[in-house]
Structure 1
Amino acid sequence: MTLHDDAFTTLTDWRPGNPGQRSLREAFLGFLAARPDACMRSCEPGHITASALVLDSTGSEVLLTLHPRVGAWLQLGGHCEETDETLVGAALREASEESGIEGLVIEKTPLHVDVHPITCSLGVPTRHFDVRFVVTAPEGAVTVRSDESLDLRWWPVHALPPDPTGTTGLDAMLAAIP
């Protein structure tokens, strides 16, 4: 099974409770059906990305990165790579690389999806079709900031950093946690 096939199956099997998320899931499935290269960053009209909402072992704090290109505090995540076989694997890889935390545990069912315009590594305006998963860090996890971040910090889930643009979607992701 290819990453593209896995993305299609993962989203087909996901049953979001929110009508807006169900509608957006259908748009993702349509995009995947139309584009065999939908999971590759070289797909200029847009591409599937994988993100991880990393919670501490108690679920009371969320790990966020200060993204240099966006200039906002975001969940960890990014582009799928040629070596990724699954969306959940891509999200876990990104979370591990960007947090430096070993022993992360990921929920295999998506939490949330979002489409947002961005000028990413392609250097041209595109869209990220972001599939987001919940990840739990082990007790006592120590973070190591990667070169992909300006800062990396734990935030209480009820005291998130300001979102001046209103586009991070952190509140919606946290509200979707069962």
Structure 2
Amino acid sequence: MSLYDDAVLVLKSYEDQEELRQAYLDHLAAHPDGMWKSCHSGHVTASALVIDPEHGRVLLTLHKKLRMWLQMGGHCEPEDTSLKEAALREATEESGIPGLTLLPDGPVRLDRHAIPAPCHVHYDVQYAVVAPPDAVQEISDESLDLRWFPYDEVASVADESVVRLLEATRARL
């Protein structure tokens, strides 16, 4: 199965955010290349919020280009065979933490947002991953900083999309 086919199946089985979910499916139907960065009218991305439920905290990255505190994530790569694999790969690469575990039951949220050219729009499929108890993060070249934040501090450093992702993730725990 191709990554495109996986994305369509994941989105069809996602039961929340009906209007936004349909917008993702419509975009993919209109753009067979809608999984790739080369699709300048917008493309699907995969991200994952790294959480440490034992200590009530999340790991956020200070994104190098956007200069915002965000969850880990980014563009799908040709070697990705599923959205969840892409989200886990991005979270592992950007956090430097091996042994992350995806929360079950697929994506936690969808978030469509504008990005500066040439990308224009990201159709982000958002997952959550649990860090192992002994997790030690390592900053990647895509980040200016990497920091753990207690749940109750996230709203003071990140935008509403990250806050909504955290709320939805906590509801699944």
Q: TM-score range by the shorter chain?
A: over 0.9
Shift of 1:57: 4.7
Question: Which residue, 91, 98, 114 being the options, matches 1:102?
Answer: 98
2:58 is equivalent to residue 62 of structure 1: yes
* Unmatched tracts of structure 2, length 5 or more: none
2:111 is equivalent to residue 114 of structure 1: yes
Q: Which residue is equivalent to 1:148?
A: 142
Q: Which residue is equivalent to 2:49?
A: 53
Question: Which residue, 87, 91, 101 being the options, matches 1:91?
Answer: 87
Q: Which residue is equivalent to 1:158?
A: 152
Shift of 1:96: 0.5
Letter matched to residue 6 of structure 1: D
Percent identity reads 47
Query: Kindly tell me: are residues 68 and 168 of structure 1, through their superposed partners in 2, closer, same or farther at Cα, counting changes over 3 Å?
Result: farther
Higher helix share: 2
Answer whether contact 2:37 2:119 (CA < 8 A) is retained.
no
Q: What is the root-mean-square deviation in Å for CA atoms of aligned residues?
A: 1.5
Q: Which runs of 4+ in 1 moved over 6 A?
A: none
CA distance in structure 1 between the partners assigned to 2:78 and 2:103 by the alignment: 22
Secondary structure of 2:15's partner? coil
Q: Which residue is equivalent to 2:6?
A: 6
The 5-angstrom pairing of residues 123-134 of structure 1 reads 123-134=117-128
* Unmatched tracts of structure 1, length 5 or more: none
Shift of 1:107: 2.3
2:165 is equivalent to residue 169 of structure 1: no
